[in-house]
Amino acid sequence: MIPEYGHFALILAGCLSLVLGVVPLLGATFNRPLWMAAARPLALGHLVLVAVSFACLAAAFAGDDFSVAYVAANSNRLLPWYYKLSAVWGAHEGSLLLWVLVLSGWTAAVAVAGRKLPVQLIARVVAVMGLIALGFHLFLLLTSNPFARLLPIPPADGADLNPLLQDFGLIVHPPLLYMGYVGLSVPFAFAIAVLLAGRMDAAWARWMRPWTNVAWAFLTLGIALGSWWAYYELGWGGWWFWDPVENASFLPWLLGTALVHSLAVTEKRGLLRGWTLLLAIFAFSLSLLGTFLVRSGVLTSVHAFATDPTRGVFVLGFLGVVVGGSLLLYALRAPTLPATAGFGWRSREAWLLANNALLVVITCVILLGTLYPLLADVLAWGKISVGPPYFNSFFVPLTLALAALLGVGALLQWKDTAPRRLRGPLVLGLAVALASGGLLPLLWGEWHWGAALALAGASWIGALTLVDLWRKSTAGGRPWRGVRLLRAGYWGMVAAHLGVALAIAGAGVTETYSVERDLRMTPGESQALGGFEFHFAGVDEVFGPNYRSQRGEIHVTREGRAVVTLAPERRRYLGGQAMTEAGIDAGLTRDLYVVLGESLGAGAWAVRLHVKPGVRWIWLGGVLIALGGVVAICDRRYRVRIRTQAQVAPSAAVAEA
């Protein structure tokens, strides 16, 4: 009976989302306080119903109820309990239910935290999120019901979870990514609410900012985690493949990054309002596009496991309604006030605008490369795939340009900056960048211009960020006096920018100095690579809970001293799937990464050895960026101002410090 309760709760939640999407919206239009006040209890009720439904699906997994088709397809009696739990979002139906759960969570959070904001605005925001939820409820209930039964004869055992997904990374990756993806619906809903209300002041920017930051931080973590997972689980030793599914999460991140920066301009200076709203709309639209790409099965990709066209058509239609509707609304209502405040080219506004332009260009280039094969397929130009060289040849130079801008932009003040304030730091930054580009690559052996450019860019950002931090913290005349005056928003920016520097340095170093070799090895054989000696001891057979495995043993030494023993595996799961588990020794300066291939007969095995310097920095940089986003919202002004706001009047927040 439990799956039926879950299904019923899901249907009720769908109905409730319709009420949630309509009543507060009408209340805001016709100024009915009671209807608007319904937003909060409705949002909470919706969250509870979706959570009940989700818990029912989880219970079906925990109780091995293989009469439920989704459970039978994605679980197995022998699966450890934590993978049974994560199998809930291991495939199409369940991950959509997770999508809706996360969305209902964000909606309830906005409804509760927004008590101090103007009631009309919050009613509209929550209602817009309710309408998005309605779209996804229809999608779930009409095309992908997770509770569908296999009756009258249920299978005795399930087909097992895809072994690629039986992994810690896949327990946490989808929830984190969805927190980010779906979190972008909050700034979107704010933008729609602002457009509906036709408010012309820019107070909404301050309310929108913390939500955008949190969603963007989650998205950053989710992408970093996905890259890390692909690195250790797929066994290719790469950390980014320009796979359409990766791009699908990267595109909203790029526009989200642009949004985080343009919101700063809108909040502080009241400029770029229309642009900011447009970015909020497009960032969420790209989230939906990502969902469409991944979930409709239109891509030939490792990740796309759904191949039912009705689903694709539904998401495409939904995407059309959301994007078309919001752009129409934007065209009708976009803030048409002329920009009254000007700014010179030495102002922070100008450089943030340049940052936005670059990020939008990068987004367009990646979008083109991602959609082109689909377009070619639809128009019958042939089956095409776009290779990584296309993406790299644009992404790398544009990112370096962004790094150059970033260093300067963070130094500048609003409106205008005196040239004498800039000269010192810029000369110092340039000297540091030239020195590190010229010398640091020698640490890894041969000098290479790719690594030199990346390290120069990274140290340019690092030096200018630290110089600015030093200058601000010594502002009171004595060192460290100014530190206490620095605000959380500033610390967040410093952390995120240093994270960018670290990630760029890591990407440059690992792409330039990684070495790999595919070998035929017999037990007892040794091979030198990247300053290490890899000694192949042999292969034994071991058994896991739901697989048996051939496990290699490779002793790594450096100049005669033992470094580590690696145990790469080739697993065969009971469901029939085969998979390699790389043997990895992680380190701050380098990773050792070994993959066991097939048996070649006569005791020989195919083995791939990698030495990858700096690869950890990429993900550490990602974590720092996300941390920066979270630190920034701890800024006092988001709490204090909102409180004074509620006490005074909704429009008093225009006054700017």
Q: What is the contact surface with another protein in residues (CB under 8 A)?
A: 162, 164, 235, 300, 302, 305, 307, 361, 364-365, 368-369, 372, 382-387, 389-390, 393-394, 518-520, 570, 575-580, 595, 597-598, 600-601, 606-608
Compute the distance between CA of residue 574 and CA of residue 231 in angstroms, rounded to an integer: 24
Structure tokens at 166: 């039986």
Give me the least distance between CB of 210 and another protein, in Å please: 33
Q: Nearer to another protein by C-beta: 209 or 570?
A: 570
Compute the distance between CA of residue 578 and CA of residue 573 in angstroms, rounded to an integer: 6
Give me the least distance between CB of 91 and another protein, in Å please: 12
Give me the least distance between CB of 575 and another protein, in Å please: 7
Structure tokens at 596: 């066991």
Give me the least distance between CB of 248 and another protein, in Å please: 18
CB 627 within 8 A of CB 221: no
Give me the least distance between CB of 163 and another protein, in Å please: 8
* Torsion from C-alpha of 511, 517, 518, 520, nearest 10 degrees: -170
Q: Nearer to another protein by C-beta: 373 or 441?
A: 373
Taking the alpha carbons at both ends of the chain, their separation in whole angstroms is 59
Give me the least distance between CB of 405 and another protein, in Å please: 16
Q: Nearer to another protein by C-beta: 254 or 498?
A: 254
Compute the distance between CA of residue 22 and CA of residue 12 in angstroms, rounded to an integer: 16
Compute the distance between CA of residue 450 and CA of residue 463 in angstroms, rounded to an integer: 20
Q: Nearer to another protein by C-beta: 305 or 447?
A: 305
Nearest CA to 242 among 233, 229, 251, 255? 251
Structure tokens at 137: 């409820």
Q: Nearer to another protein by C-beta: 140 or 579?
A: 579
Residue 373, H or E segment: helix 348-378
Give me the least distance between CB of 223 and another protein, in Å please: 21
Phi first, then psi, for residue 101 (nearest 5°) are: -60, -45
Give me the least distance between CB of 278 and another protein, in Å please: 16
Angle of helix 185-197 relative to helix 92-113, nearest 10 degrees, comes to 50
Q: Nearer to another protein by C-beta: 520 or 636?
A: 520
Neighbouring CB atoms inside 10 A of 283's CB total: 29
Q: Nearer to another protein by C-beta: 3 or 597?
A: 597
Q: Nearer to another protein by C-beta: 154 or 575?
A: 575
CB 254 within 8 A of CB 281: no
Q: ∠ at Cα 518 (517, 524), nearest 5°? A: 95
Q: Nearer to another protein by C-beta: 248 or 503?
A: 248
Q: Nearer to another protein by C-beta: 306 or 432?
A: 306
Give me the least distance between CB of 395 and another protein, in Å please: 11
Give me the least distance between CB of 366 and another protein, in Å please: 10
Please list the residues that pair with 596 across neighbouring strands.
607
Nearest CA to 172 among 110, 98, 235, 117? 98
In the chain, the amino acid numbered 389 is P
Rg over alpha carbons for the chain, rounded to the nearest Å, is 27
CB 213 within 8 A of CB 260: yes
- Where residue 304 falls (left for φ over 0; alpha for ψ -120 to 50; beta otherwise) is beta
